[in-house]
Amino acid sequence: MWKRDESVRPPAGRDAMGVQPPVPQAGVPGAAAQGADIEGRRHMETRDVVNIGKSVVIKGELNGSEDLTVEGHVEGRIELKDHVLTIGPHGRIKAEIHAKSVIILGEVTGNILASEKVDIRDNGSVDGDIVAPRVAIAEGAHFRGSVDMQRKSAPTPPASKVEAKPAAPPAAPGQPAKAGA
């Protein structure tokens, strides 16, 4: 089994701690970019995540341009268009959520719109409708509502709306004019 470690190590960026920073290799196209990407991710993980603690209660609209973890209570609306929202195990949300990705370990009552992914983890709970290209629901999670996965149009959210409507030609009489405009 000791050989397993050695064989797994080479994709070093995956091991978060104790591994030397990835060195761009000459002659390997994209290696430098990949290294920068990993470095960027590491920065995100260590710096640009804000926490809302257990005792915090927010009523109203929450906007932001960095990743956010909520352990407290939020009522109203949360908007993190290009970032990840994590509802911690103690988080209680009664809000409409717009984010890039949403990870739920606590409770959410309200609709969720994510441009990338919604992930309801074990013991996470959602009562509301989800619109996202990818949805993962763990065993033990609670969910009641609807799931709309906007088929085959994940990469460009604005285009997805335009594409989705012409797909049902008889049902959307007003759409062609709008798309053409």
Partner 1 sequence: MTGFLSRFGQRRGADHDGVPEAAGAQDTVVGTKALRKFIQYLKSRPTPVLLDLGPVVGSNISFFGEQIGCKIFVEDLFADIDRHEREGRLSELPAFLRTRFPQPPGSVDGVLCWNLFDFLDRPSAQAAAEQLSRVLAVNGALFGFFGMTRPSEVPLTKFIVVDDANLRHRPYSSPRMRQAVLQNRDITRLFEPLRVSDSFLLKNNVREILFRKPDYMNSR
Q: Which residues bind partner 1 (CB under 8 A)?
A: 3-4, 7-8, 120, 134-139, 141-149, 151-152, 164, 167-168, 171
Rg (CA), the chain: 20
CB of 59 to partner 1, least distance (A): 27
Residue closer to partner 1 (CB basis): 15 or 39: 15
Phi-psi region for residue 46, left (φ > 0), alpha (ψ -120 to 50) or beta? alpha
d(C-alpha 136, C-alpha 121), whole Å: 8
CB of 8 to partner 1, least distance (A): 7
Residue closer to partner 1 (CB basis): 4 or 181: 4
Looking at this protein, which amino acid is placed at residue 100?
K
CB of 55 to partner 1, least distance (A): 31
CB of 101 to partner 1, least distance (A): 13
The H or E element containing residue 63 is: strand 57-63
Residue closer to partner 1 (CB basis): 74 or 120: 120
According to DSSP, the β-strands at 73-87 and 57-63 are: parallel
- Residue listed under structure tokens 């370990």: 105
Residue closer to partner 1 (CB basis): 62 or 108: 108
Given CA atoms 30, 103, 135, 114 in this order, what sign does their dihedral have?
A: negative
